[in-house]
């Protein structure tokens, strides 16, 4: 084996590996304790379990953590020795397992859990959290091994996400189950391209309205949450021809612009190991009495911090406004827009400035409301309001906004 170039350390993939290594370690120990296991097998199973746990505990996530933001960076570019500038900053995220495990291991402080954003919505009467892209993967992947209480915020948010995914599929007249996956687009090597897809109402980002890609593994992950509807949806996907030699294909692309002819859809005939693996663990939870969750949660280190997973669902939800779908491009409107220009002569000149001071407290105000407020004590001066001397964009100062409701 060798590292694929460019070398990259993914925060979420590292957390998934560590978390599932710990679950495997616990499963091996339970198997060793079963009646009838030979002494030789007990020794072998316990040694394998010890090795898996050591691999997990040897991973140090502190290098991927920003102590200033109290968040994890997306990853590390190895050859540049540079951390990505973006962060995992949401509770409804595939990085939730990484966050929980790193806190339990002592790699990052417990404060990190509270720093994760919680943007709420309601699906019918069910409260939930918004994710970045509104994909099933973000909500349900951590719950493959994390034992989240039925009445807690995390489990209820998963239920809300599944319900909204089902409603979105019904509204589109398509099978439900949207997540990051391959789609019907290929590069010069004929490899299918990969992208995050999601349900608009669950997403904080703006979701392109034309994208209609259904990922069967998203439905399989939802089986523990709504078995009857999930099985019915899988049967519908089977009727669309989505089952192949190795199980369900990665995706069905219904996007009109990507169809080679007048057909309704294109099958993305590829099988991704991590999506198939998620499906197997989800089915194991259903068929084996939540065995993967019980394995992971039985580790003493996880039990010590399981209170983090008991966060209650709020009784009152202040829902964020739904992001508007991206409008279809209007070439005529765009051409008219570029021929329109407004000039404000007053904005091009020097702004009149008023200075007020009593020796210790000073205020500078411009006619447009921008300015700065300072306090001086001895030889030290503090800015009470932020100041940036920018004649093109006076964006700092004290402003009052009035809004007429209704």
Q: Domain check: are 301 and 204 in the same one? A: yes
Q: In 10 A of CB 375, how many CB atoms?
A: 12
In this structure, what token pair is assigned to residue 333? 């409107």
**Which pLDDT does position 345 carry in this prediction?**
60
Q: Domain check: are 112 and 122 in the same one? A: no
Residue 345 domain-assigned?
A: no
Cα angle: 381, vertex 386, 389; to 5 degrees: 95
Q: Domain check: are 321 and 373 in the same one? A: no
**Which pLDDT does position 337 carry in this prediction?**
46
Q: Domain check: are 105 and 135 in the same one? A: no
Per-residue pLDDT of 325-382, as tens digits, reads 455 555 555 544 444 566 666 665 666 788 888 888 998 887 777 788 889 888 888 8
Which spans in 179-315 are helix H?
216-221, 227-239, 273-287, 291-297, 300-303
Residue 147 domain-assigned?
A: yes
DSSP 91: S
Place of tokens 């010890």: 50
Structural domains in the chain (count): 3
> Does residue 261 contact residue 176 with C-beta atoms inside 8 Å?
no
**Which pLDDT does position 393 carry in this prediction?**
62
Residues β-bridged to residue 192? 186
Q: Domain check: are 151 and 201 in the same one? A: yes
Quote the CA–CA distance of 198 and 138 in Å, as a whole number: 10
* Dihedrals phi, psi of 134, to nearest 5 degrees: 75, 25
Q: Domain check: are 153 and 200 in the same one? A: yes
> Does residue 73 contact residue 10 with C-beta atoms inside 8 Å?
no
Quote the CA–CA distance of 243 and 276 in Å, as a whole number: 12
Contacts of 334 (CB under 8 A, 6+ apart): none
Q: Is 110 exposed, middle or buried (0-12, 13-18, 19+ CB in 10 A)?
A: exposed
Residue 24 domain-assigned?
A: yes
**Which pLDDT does position 343 carry in this prediction?**
61
Whole-number mean pLDDT of the chain?
A: 90
Quote the CA–CA distance of 133 and 213 in Å, as a whole number: 13
Task: For the chain, list residues with pLDDT below 70.
Answer: 319-351, 389-399, 406
**Which pLDDT does position 397 carry in this prediction?**
65
Per-residue pLDDT of 210-262, as tens digits, reads 999 999 999 999 999 999 999 999 999 999 999 988 999 999 999 999 999 88
Residue 196 domain-assigned?
A: yes
Chosen domain end from 116, 133, 158: 116
* Dihedrals phi, psi of 402, to nearest 5 degrees: -115, 135
Q: Domain check: are 375 and 293 in the same one? A: no
**Which pLDDT does position 190 carry in this prediction?**
86
Quote the CA–CA distance of 114 and 96 in Å, as a whole number: 12
Q: Domain check: are 50 and 87 in the same one? A: yes
Q: Domain check: are 254 and 318 in the same one? A: yes
Q: Domain check: are 368 and 310 in the same one? A: no
Chosen domain end from 62, 85, 116: 116
**Which pLDDT does position 391 carry in this prediction?**
56
Q: Domain check: are 128 and 85 in the same one? A: no
Residue 347 domain-assigned?
A: no
Residue 36 domain-assigned?
A: yes
Measured over the CA atoms of residue 386, residue 67, residue 129 and residue 156, the dihedral's sign is negative
Q: Domain check: are 142 and 280 in the same one? A: yes
Quote the CA–CA distance of 379 and 391 in Å, as a whole number: 29
User: Could you tell me the residue range of the domain that residue 74 belongs to?
Assistant: 1-116
Measured over the CA atoms of residue 160, residue 164, residue 170 and residue 175, the dihedral's sign is negative
Residues β-bridged to residue 183? 193
Residue of 167, 255, 270 lying closest to 214 (CA atoms): 255
Chosen domain end from 70, 88, 116: 116
In this structure, what token pair is assigned to residue 202? 């669950």
In this structure, what token pair is assigned to residue 261? 């002819």
Q: What is the CATH number of the domain that holds 142?
A: 1.50.10.140
**Which pLDDT does position 202 carry in this prediction?**
96
Residue 343 domain-assigned?
A: no
Residue 332 domain-assigned?
A: no
């Amino acid at each position: 084996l060798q590292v694929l170039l460019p070398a990259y350390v993914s925060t979420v993939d590292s957390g998934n590996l560590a978390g599932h290594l710990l679950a495997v370690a616990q499963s091996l120990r339970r198997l060793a304790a079963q009646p009838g296991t030979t002494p030789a097998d007990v020794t072998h199973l316990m040694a394998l379990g010890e090795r898996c746990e050591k691999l997990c505990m040897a991973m140090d996530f502190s290098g991927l953590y920003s102590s200033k933001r109290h968040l994890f960076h997306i990853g590390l570019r190895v050859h540049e020795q540079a951390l990505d500038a973006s962060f995992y900053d949401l509770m409804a995220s595939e990085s939730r397992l990484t966050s929980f495990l790193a806190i339990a291991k002592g790699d990052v402080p417990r404060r990190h859990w509270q720093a994760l954003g919680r943007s709420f919505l309601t699906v019918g009467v069910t409260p939930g959290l918004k994710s970045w892209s509104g994909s099933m993967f973000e909500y349900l992947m951590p719950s493959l091994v994390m034992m989240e209480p039925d009445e807690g915020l995390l489990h209820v948010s998963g239920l809300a996400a599944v319900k909204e995914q089902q409603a979105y599929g019904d509204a589109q007249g398509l099978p439900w189950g949207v997540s990051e996956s391959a789609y019907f687009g290929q590069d010069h090597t004929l490899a299918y391209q990969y992208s995050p897809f999601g349900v608009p109402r669950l997403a904080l980002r703006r979701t392109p309205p034309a994208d209609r890609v259904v990922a069967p593994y998203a439905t399989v992950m939802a089986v523990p949450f709504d078995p009857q509807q999930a099985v019915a949806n899988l049967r519908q996907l089977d009727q669309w021809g989505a089952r192949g030699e190795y199980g369900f294909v990665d995706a069905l692309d219904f996007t009109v612009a990507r169809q080679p002819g007048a057909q309704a859809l294109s099958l993305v005939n590829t099988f991704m190991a991590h999506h198939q693996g998620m499906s197997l663990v989800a089915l194991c939870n259903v068929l084996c009495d939540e065995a993967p969750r019980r394995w992971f949660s039985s580790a003493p280190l996880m039990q010590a911090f399981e209170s983090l997973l008991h966060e209650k669902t709020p009784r009152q939800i202040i829902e964020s406004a739904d992001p508007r779908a991206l409008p279809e491009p209007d070439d005529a409107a765009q051409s008219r827009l570029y021929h329109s220009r407004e000039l404000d002569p007053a904005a091009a000149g020097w702004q009149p400035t008023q200075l007020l001071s009593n020796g210790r407290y000073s205020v500078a105000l411009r006619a447009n409301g921008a300015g700065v407020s300072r306090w001086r004590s001895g030889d030290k001066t503090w800015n009470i309001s932020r100041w940036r001397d920018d004649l093109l964009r006076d964006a700092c100062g004290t402003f009052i906004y009035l809004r007429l409701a209704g």
